[in-house]
Amino acid sequence: MVRKKYGLLTAIAMIIGIVIGSGIFFKSDNILIATGGNVWMAIGAFLLSAISIIFGAITISRLALLSDKPGGAVSYFDQFVSKKMGAGFGWFQTFVYFPTLCAVISYVSGVYICMLTGIPGTLENQVLAGFIAMTLLYIMNISLPKTSGIVQILCMVAKLIPLVLIAGFGLFVGKNGMSIPPEVVVEYTPSHGLGIGAFIAAMLPIVFSYDGWIVATSISQEIKNEKKNLTLALLIAPTIVLVIYVLYFVGLVRMVGIEHILSSGDAHLYYASEMIFGPAGKSVIIGFVTVSVLGTLNGLVLGHIRLPNNLAKNNLLGVQENKFLKVNSRTGTQINSGILAFAVTILWLAIHYLVTKFDLLLGSDISELAIASQYALFLFLYYKVFSLWRKGKIKGVGYGVICPVLASIGALVIFVSGFAKPLVFLVGIIIVVMVSTTGAFVIQKKQNKNKIANSMESDDISLENKLEDDTNNDEENIK
């Protein structure tokens, strides 16, 4: 019996805590550059990008209501698509998606930890600091699950503080525009023009800032009143994220000014912080961003350590499943499952170090391939919701048609954005296909083995029955 450790607030905090990382703090200049300083077009890009998370979450929530299996999205593939797809997606999430994101976010947290503490920002120091932070979070989530839930809520509150302050200060108090350094030349015209190209270019920095919402489904079985609270969390959290993003962006633009954001690049955030917090603004904002990134990492770890156990529960792991079914009686957590997840993340952190050190992906990181690939796989679930609506198992055109269609559009935008970096996209496709196919192959092999065992058992029973019949016939003949 799985302990119900988490309530609605933790589920919402998990989604918000993972989705809001460091990206939104430093993407305003990229968005404005893409739209040529057109704020309304930028807001439109925020709204359009939100399709992938809001309508995706609503669509997945329909499957959550129909499913009674543990494992979240993995079990949805298993139950509603096929066992092979369940195994393939489960292996992809366990061995690619979660660990690559954990590895990259660990490194990013190391970057900010070094900035905050004054440690020299060498790649080795950043990776080491990130590794230490990641290790502590894995240990906490494995041994103190309730504490990790509380930490997630606190991190959510901490990361919302600078966003809300900048939004509020800009909208109601702040100065409308700052002076531009005289040596800086501001260019407004985007290379994509002001048509659909500008929209797509503005969306690319945004869509990845929305990722991570699906992670909450990995703790679905541990959420109190699971079907109601998980569904509410998948509806409420993405909407909160969208509202916060738009208010933050508008407040920042009004406070700092379009020209200053375009001229100062990522430094615009530090200027905004100085306006609110004074000369110590830069240190304050770095502290908030550090907590924000650690909150994202904690949410990912919280979900990742459960995946091997969830796969084993659904008979999708294929190897050593009994070992990963064991639950610690004191904490209610799956220690072996957490250790495997941690080991895989360490491997990906080493790969990320090499990729970054030698620029093997030409300026990109390993998480991009995982995110784009996952949204492509979501298309199977979105179609399944539509299919279930046609069969009458999901009620309402909105839930069964409109939401899946809009979610699919958002997923396709993110997936197609991978084509902008062909090398990353190609490497990602190869890795995803290899890992997912391995998972499906292992399950197929296990199923075949079970069929053979069942067939042999059936033959043995038939032979035993035949021998018994022959014996009875012999006895009858003798009589």
Residue 251: its pLDDT value, please?
Answer: 92
Q: What is the pLDDT of residue 14?
A: 80
Residue 1 inside a domain? The answer is no
Inter-CA distances, 167 with 46, 264, 271, 276, 375, Å:
15, 19, 14, 11, 30
Residue 108 in any domain: the answer is yes
* Burial (0-12, 13-18, 19+ Cβ within 10 Å), 455: exposed
d(CA 473, CA 278): 101
Q: Which pLDDT belongs to residue 443?
A: 84
Query: Could you give the 3-state DSSP secondary structure of residue 185?
Result: coil
Ranges in the chain, pLDDT < 70: 1-5, 70-71, 174-195, 197-198, 201, 204, 208, 418-421, 424, 451-479
Tens of pLDDT, residues 381-391: 999 999 999 99
b (16+ CB within 10 A) / e for 282-293: bebbbbbbbbbb
Q: How many domains does the chain have?
A: 1
What is the rounded CA–CA span in Å between residue 443 and residue 445? 5
- For 72, which DSSP code? T
Q: What is the pLDDT of residue 404?
A: 95
Contact 316, 446 (CB under 8 A): no
Residue partners of 212: CB distance under 8 A and separation at least 6: 15, 18, 19, 21, 101, 296, 299, 300
Taking CA atoms, 82 is separated from 16, 97, 309, 313, in Å, by 30, 20, 19, 16
Whether 277 maps to a domain, the answer reads: yes
Looking at residue 326, what is its pLDDT? 82
Closest CA to 243 of 164, 171, 153: 164
The contacts of residue 274 (CB under 8 Å, 6+ apart) are 281, 282
DSSP code for 279: G
Q: Which amino acid is at 54?
A: I
Residues contacting 335, CB < 8 A, separation 6+: 142, 326, 328
Angle at the Cα of 171 (from 169 to 172), degrees rounded to 5?
70
Contact 99, 366 (CB under 8 A): no
CATH number of the domain within which 56 lies: 1.20.1740.10
> Would you say residue 2 lies in a domain?
no
- Dist CA 60 CA 85 (whole Å): 16
Interior/surface letters 154-181, b for 16+ CB within 10 angstroms, e for the rest = ebbebbbebbebbbbbbeeebeeebeee
Got the DSSP string for 163-175?
A: HHHHHHIIIIIS-
- Specify the pLDDT at position 30: 80
Angle subtended by helix axes 281-304 and 145-168, to nearest 10: 140
Q: Tell me, what's the pLDDT at 383?
A: 96
What digits encode the pLDDT tens for the residues 287-322? 998 998 999 899 899 889 989 998 988 888 888 888
Backbone angles phi, psi at 6, to 5 degrees: -115, 140
The set of residues, in sequence order, having a beta carbon less than 8 Å from that of 42 and lying 6+ positions away, is 31, 32, 34, 35, 202, 249
> Which amino acid is residue 245, in one-letter code?
Y
- The reply to whether 3 falls in a domain is no
CA dihedral 195, 196, 200, 202 (to 10 degrees): 30
What pLDDT is recorded for position 136? 97
For residue 236, how many C-alpha atoms fall within 13 Å in the half-sphere facing its CB?
A: 14
CB 47 within 8 A of CB 350: no
Backbone φ/ψ region at 118: left (φ over 0), alpha (ψ -120 to 50), beta: left
- Let me know if residue 111 belongs to a domain: yes
Would residue 338 count as lying in a domain? yes
Residue 191, domain extent? 8-478
